[in-house]
Amino acid sequence: MSASPVASSQTSLRVVCLPGDGIGPEVMAAAQRVLRELAPDLELEERLFGAAAIRATGTSLPEETLAACRSADAVLKAPIGDPEFDAADVRPEQGMLQLRAELDVYANLRPASLGGVDLLIVRELVGGLYFGARGVREDGTAFDTCEYHPSQVERVARRAFELARTRRRRLTSVDKANVLETSRLWRRVVGEVAREYPDVAVDDMLVDNAAMQLASDPAQFDVIVTENMFGDILSDLAAAMTGGLGLAPSASLSDDGPGIFEPVHGSAPDIAGRGVANPAAMLRSTALMLEHAFGRLEEARALEVAVDVGLQKRPTPDLGGNATTAELADAVVEALS
Ligand code: NAD
Ligand code: IPM
Ligand code: MN
């Protein structure tokens, strides 16, 4: 291969960065800083998304942003959301769901570990209540519907079993099969897929019990697979059990196209603009990107270790320390070199 500029720009890896809202730009700056140090060959592009995009263009996910994400090698996303739009017709969260659906990132990996706890929630991300028919009837009744096709359950279950094989080979499938039709489908399909993975120990757990078990004995879990809404709620709980939302990363994966790598937490309007947000969740999401989008395991592990070192040295206020976002990022960069 020639080393002409054209050839190299064709082969370079493109990361579309979505800085988002609230603390989003603050934690994104930390991620970009670390990436320039650790993986200077990656091309970082920024695009408008969320409330920032609504203000500039009238829509949360502008065409141009979507096109850039589609053709990227990975999407690195900071949180979106702004109280100003909570009751508006056009809301930042709509663009986020649209982006997930457009990229078909059905498997949302949300790892949580601390001490004896090391679990991975695999949350179905493009189905269920978030995407069913909804509306408000003339009499004022509001409704959201939860639908799952067997194939939607099957593909995320298979992904979860595969991941369990790379870990402690235990899978807990969480549902509400004592009440919901979609959950009975979920349980049946997971059971069918389980036959292909006799080496993985699988059990079913009702979601209310799962919340209690997560709060009282989180060390019992290895991989948890669950539908969209249950996964949203349980993953904030798992984060709380393992150090808080400031630490919790995620990777949203499809079968082929680009993945989305973003923290579990939101735009934290209560602390935005003060430069004190914990960037660890964003940095760990960046490590997941290096691992899952680019197969760069060594860099991913190095970043994870550097984040741990940084957190020890310069903890942010959410962890009882007094470091700023930038100071923790400095400590991570220092630990990398
Ligand atoms: P949140 O996750 O933004 O905040 C919950 C609490 O955790 C707050 O007290 C906040 O200060 C704290 N927190 C969160 N991240 C932190 C960090 N990195 N460092 C230190 N403290 C942190 O949840 P919320 O307040 O319910 O939601 C705020 C907005 O974020 C809403 O508009 C919501 O829709 C949006 N949201 C977006 C995403 C996303 O883009 N992925 C995820 C969740 C919520
Ligand atoms: C998350 C967030 C989103 C979700 C919101 C902002 C739409 O809470 O990523 O966990 O519910 O999926
Ligand atoms: Mn959530």
Task: Report CA 136 to chain centroid distance, whole Å.
Answer: 30
**What is the position in ligand 1's atom list of the atom closest to the CA of 27?**
18
β-strands 117-124, 107-114: how paired? Answer: antiparallel
pLDDT of residue 11: 74
CA of 31 to the centre of ligand 1 (A): 17
Question: Quick count: other Cβ atoms within 10 Å of Cβ 10?
Answer: 9
Which tens digits make up the pLDDT trace of 165-190?
Answer: 999 999 999 999 999 999 999 999 99
pLDDT category, 206, cuts 50, 70, 90?
A: very high
Q: Whose CA is nearest to atom 37 of ligand 1?
A: 266
Degrees to nearest 5, angle at CA 263 with 260 and 266: 115
- Cβ–ligand 2 contact at 264 (below 6 Å): yes
Instruction: Give the whole-number percent of the chain exceeding pLDDT 70.
Output: 97
Cross-strand pairs, 250: 262
Rounded to whole angstroms, how far apart are CA atoms 165 and 200?
7
Q: What is the DSSP letter of 168?
A: T
pLDDT category, 10, cuts 50, 70, 90?
A: low
- Cβ–ligand 2 contact at 232 (below 6 Å): yes
Instruction: Give the whole-number percent of the chain exceeding pLDDT 90.
Output: 96
Mutate to test the pocket of ligand 2, among 232, 236, 282 (most ligand atoms within 8 A of CB): 232
pLDDT value at 7 more than 80: no
CA of 232 to the centre of ligand 3 (A): 5
Q: What is the DSSP letter of 52?
A: H
Question: What's the full length of the chain, in residues?
Answer: 337
CA of 321 to the centre of ligand 3 (A): 25
244 conformational bin, left if phi > 0, alpha if psi -120 to 50, beta if neither: left
Q: How many CA atoms lie within 13 A of 156 on its CB side?
A: 32
pLDDT value at 8 more than 60: no
Q: Whose CA is nearest to atom 6 of ligand 2?
A: 93
Which tens digits make up the pLDDT trace of 84-96?
Answer: 999 999 999 999 9
CA of 142 to the centre of ligand 2 (A): 20
